[in-house]
Amino acid sequence: MKIGYVQTNPKRGKREQNLESALALLADVEADVLVLPELFSTGYLFADREELSKVAEPTDESPTIEWMKKVAADKGCVVCGGFPELDRDNNRIYNSAVIVSFVGPLVHYRKLHLFDQEKELFDAGEMPPKAANIGLGVAGIIICFDWIFPETMRMLALDDAQVVLHPSNLILPHCQQAMITRCIENRLFAVTANRVGSEELNEKKLTFTGHSQIVAPDGTVLKQAGAEGEEVGVVEIDPNQASDKMVTENNHLLKDRRVDVYESLLYTDKERQGRL
């Protein structure tokens, strides 16, 4: 499997321009799987939910998904990227990402862990991340700040994922290093597609850290982008390496878990206090 990140610098609210810029980056790229950043077609900062609602896209009428389908068809690959999803039936807006082939979405995920002021704009996803066979391997999605919660990637490992696709708009300094640990503790490949540049709105300014990367199940960084500038990085991997969960001859990463003593992980803070 040839898998790659697409590190972009989207402009806030400029969907058509952002899609054209991303397409230009892909002109000479050959890959089986391409991963773009979180909210790569719309930009990240929004004044309020009303402004966000004007660019949010229903999955069945999404210009971003249609663009991804066309790229997938033209290049004979699958494409992953993030977009603001409008759920008209329930009046909700999600920070979502999809893995798309030429026929449409193969995997659809709504961000579980909303970062900072995202909580004022988006609704949090309700369903766990799921993995699916995308042709040459089994893949699932996490989005940006999900990285700081180890349970997110562990759920994908338990769902037989081999590759985790990680569209991101990172501003904190630790994610790229932490994803090395996430890959080791789950023995999975991960592709973090981050963005670069900055966005300003009113008195708020965010600067994104770049350094998109591809990490192997043993923690090796196979490819990493710079901190600035748009670029694409592609490597060839064997997804089956992620199916080997043996840490030693006597230790299986998943079978050796002590679920018999992990019960307290399921308690809320209030429930935990009641047991003290």
CB 98 within 8 A of CB 84: no
Active site residue 144: yes
Residue 20, Cβ neighbours under 10 Å: how many? 11
Chain centroid to CA 12: 19
Q: How many residues does the chain have?
A: 276
Catalytic, out of 69, 85, 118, 144? 144
Active site residue 77: no
Catalytic, out of 85, 111, 199, 230? 111
CB 14 within 8 A of CB 55: no
How far is residue 89's CA from residue 124's CA, in Å, rounded to a whole number?
A: 16
C-alpha separations of 218 from 21, 28, 247 in Å:
34, 30, 10
Catalytic, out of 38, 57, 85, 230? 38
**Radius of gyration of the chain measured on its C-alpha atoms:** 18
Report residue 265: phi and psi, to 5°: -65, -20
Instruction: Enumerate the H helices of 76-146 as residue ranges.
Output: none
Q: How far apart are the first and last CA of the chain?
A: 50
Sequence-distant (≥ 6) Cβ neighbours of residue 57 within 8 angstroms: 63, 64, 65, 83, 84, 85, 86
List the beta bridge partners of residue 81: 98
How far is residue 184's CA from residue 36's CA, in Å, rounded to a whole number?
A: 23
Active site residue 54: no
Q: Which tokens go with 208?
A: 């994104």
Which residues form the catalytic set?
Answer: 38, 111, 144
